[in-house]
Structure 1
Amino acid sequence: MYRLEGRHAIVTGAARGIGRAIAERLIAEGCTVSLWDVDGDEVALAANEIAGSAGKVHFAEVDVSDRQAVASALAATRTAWNAGPDILVNNAGIGQVASILDSEPKDFDRTIAVNIGGTYNCCYEVAPLMRDAGGGLIINIASWFGKSGRPMSMAYCASKFAIIGMTQSMALDLSSHGIRVNAVCPGTITDTQMREQADAAGALKGVPPAQEREHLIPLGRLGKPRDIANVVAFLISDEADYMTGQSVNVTGGLWMN
């Protein structure tokens, strides 16, 4: 356990999958957590299901690509807590299985708006509060696709490369204010909505599902959302207080750079 009692965390894209696993882990560590998600019904259900104790869990329906919606959700969260966030986990994201030859501009634009724009919007609203409070922690969920271009993933790769660059730049800009910024780069993670959608879309284009590529992973299994949550909890903890600007692979050895 990392002794995170008394800290206040916002986790975006928290209704299911990796985001929900992160929220559950931070609650178990003693954090008060606000779950944000574009799906209001699902995030309300998740918050009710994982509430560790009274007052520990808050939730908000918010499209992170909409800066005003982010500002409104942040205001509601601060009111519910009577405190500002110490921790921001930018997990909300979408993807598409498409190359430049068969992509649709509207789908590319939406991926960029959510993955890059959403991360920017949340940091834009939260970082000044952390600065004024004397410190904080920002974790951006990137991907191993942000370190190596992959086929049929142009928009997703572009967005995740950008998030790694944003992480490094913000780490430099915010370090003097006591704010650490790191990224986590998941590999092939199962039990998520994005994985299901990617496998379904890939099947239409002859791409084998993740399960059929499991043998390529040195540790011999697909990742689970809890694998990402465990690393996020470490990076937030004081055990990682000399780490900033890093993009940590959690890929089972699939990617080592």
Structure 2
Amino acid sequence: MDTRLQGRTALVTGATSNIGRAIALAYGAAGAHVAVSGRDPERGAAVIAQVRAAGGRADFVPADLDGSPGRSRALADAAVAALGRVDVLVNNAGVYPAGTTLTTDEETFDRIFAVNVKAPFFLTAALVPGMTERGGGVVVNIGSWIARLGVPGGSAYSASKGAVETLTRAWSAEFGPGGVRVNAVSPGVVADAGSELERLAVGMMRGTPADAVGRPEAIAVAAVYLASDDAAFVHGTVLDVDGGRTGVAVVAS
């Protein structure tokens, strides 16, 4: 039985599907009391039921993060009300509207940066002071391999994830002296088994060492590690969990 997060509390944004759901389940299994945050109460209830069925503790905290400081602060307050405090914050919620630079309009661009960058920025700003007052805490950001390996589409999304990686390092420098560790996980192409996303994305991982699409659970394992005392000496790091997508050359044959 994994008890690395026993007695801790965690807020996971975007926790009702895919990577966020897997992290919430893994945190619950490791002993944390989890605030499952998302827009859909039904999907949130399903995640909570899974956590509780495995013997964990979880509560649903609804949020539709739009980048405004007010909504980020409201989520922070709701999570503290549900958990008593927030020891671990996982900034996972994000949007990925498809589009090239030439086809992305201003509204779409602004929404990508609002959800992917501004929302975690202000949510972190709302929760870190409490962590510092208690002597420590953890922030885990979710980046993306696409921030460092260019592809023809999704330029605004990749730029937003590049910002998340930069914030990870900046926050580590800013908050580390107060006892708050900040790191990130950079997933490769990840999808649930048998999903439509897996079918569409499998070609993007062909030829990598893994030669397959990753599973959300692989990212969750890394997120548990970064939140635990096992990573006590890990600061400002972006942990690639991407099947070798960014670190290993894929040579056409």
TM-score (norm 1): 0.89
SS of residue paired to 1:188: coil
State the partner residue of 1:205. Answer: none
- How far, CA to CA, are the matches of 2:10 and 2:196 in structure 1? 27
Query: In the TM superposition, what is the alpha-carbon distance from 1:175 to its structure 2 partner?
Result: 0.8
Query: In the TM superposition, what is the alpha-carbon distance from 1:51 to its structure 2 partner?
Result: 2.0
Query: In the TM superposition, what is the alpha-carbon distance from 1:237 to its structure 2 partner?
Result: 1.2
Query: In the TM superposition, what is the alpha-carbon distance from 1:105 to its structure 2 partner?
Result: 1.5
1:223 to 1:12, Cα distance in 2 relative to 1, 3 A: same
1:63 to 1:12, Cα distance in 2 relative to 1, 3 A: same
Structure 1 gaps of 5+ residues are: 200-207
**How many residues were matched structurally?**
245
Match status 1:221 vs 2:195? no
State the partner residue of 1:171. Answer: 172
- How far, CA to CA, are the matches of 2:196 and 2:104 in structure 1? 19
- How far, CA to CA, are the matches of 2:65 and 2:47 in structure 1? 18
Match status 1:212 vs 2:214? no
SS of residue paired to 1:79: helix
Q: Does the 8 Å CA contact 1:99/1:151 hold for their aligned counterparts? A: yes
Query: In the TM superposition, what is the alpha-carbon distance from 1:52 to its structure 2 partner?
Result: 4.5
State the partner residue of 1:204. Answer: none
Give the stretch that moved more between structures: 71-80 or 103-112: 71-80
Query: In the TM superposition, what is the alpha-carbon distance from 1:186 to its structure 2 partner?
Result: 0.3
- How far, CA to CA, are the matches of 1:169 and 1:69 in structure 2? 23
Query: In the TM superposition, what is the alpha-carbon distance from 1:48 to its structure 2 partner?
Result: 2.6
Query: In the TM superposition, what is the alpha-carbon distance from 1:70 to its structure 2 partner?
Result: 2.6
State the partner residue of 1:238. Answer: 229
State the partner residue of 1:251. Answer: 242
Q: Deviations over 1:24-69 (max 9, x none)?
A: 0000000000011122332233223332478811111112224322
State the partner residue of 2:122. Answer: 121
| Aligned residue identity for 1:67 | P
Output the aligned Cα RMSD.
Answer: 2.1
1:22 to 1:157, Cα distance in 2 relative to 1, 3 A: same
SS of residue paired to 1:121: helix
Query: In the TM superposition, what is the alpha-carbon distance from 1:221 to its structure 2 partner?
Result: 1.6
- How far, CA to CA, are the matches of 1:68 and 1:109 in structure 2? 17
Query: In the TM superposition, what is the alpha-carbon distance from 1:2 to its structure 2 partner?
Result: 5.1
Give the stretch that moved more between structures: 129-138 or 65-74: 65-74
1:70 to 1:154, Cα distance in 2 relative to 1, 3 A: same
TM-score (norm 2): 0.90
State the partner residue of 1:139. Answer: 140
Query: In the TM superposition, what is the alpha-carbon distance from 1:22 to its structure 2 partner?
Result: 0.2
Query: In the TM superposition, what is the alpha-carbon distance from 1:109 to its structure 2 partner?
Result: 0.9
State the partner residue of 2:16. Answer: 15
Query: In the TM superposition, what is the alpha-carbon distance from 1:71 to its structure 2 partner?
Result: 2.1
1:101-112 → structure 2 map (5 Å cutoff):
101-112=102-113
Q: Does the 8 Å CA contact 1:2/1:237 hold for their aligned counterparts? A: no
Query: In the TM superposition, what is the alpha-carbon distance from 1:77 to its structure 2 partner?
Result: 2.4
| Aligned residue identity for 1:40 | P
Query: In the TM superposition, what is the alpha-carbon distance from 1:212 to its structure 2 partner?
Result: 3.0
| Aligned residue identity for 2:239 | V
State the partner residue of 1:48. Answer: 49
Give the stretch that moved more between structures: 6-15 or 140-149: 140-149
Q: Does the 8 Å CA contact 1:96/1:155 hold for their aligned counterparts? A: no
- How far, CA to CA, are the matches of 2:121 and 2:196 in structure 1? 26
Q: Deviations over 1:216-253 (max 9, x none)?
A: 22122210000000001111111111101001111111
- How far, CA to CA, are the matches of 1:213 and 1:181 in structure 2? 29
- How far, CA to CA, are the matches of 2:103 and 2:145 in structure 1? 23
State the partner residue of 1:36. Answer: 37
Give the stretch that moved more between structures: 218-227 or 17-26: 218-227
SS of residue paired to 1:51: helix
SS of residue paired to 2:206: helix
| Aligned residue identity for 1:169 | A
State the partner residue of 1:72. Answer: 74
Identity across matched positions, percent:
33
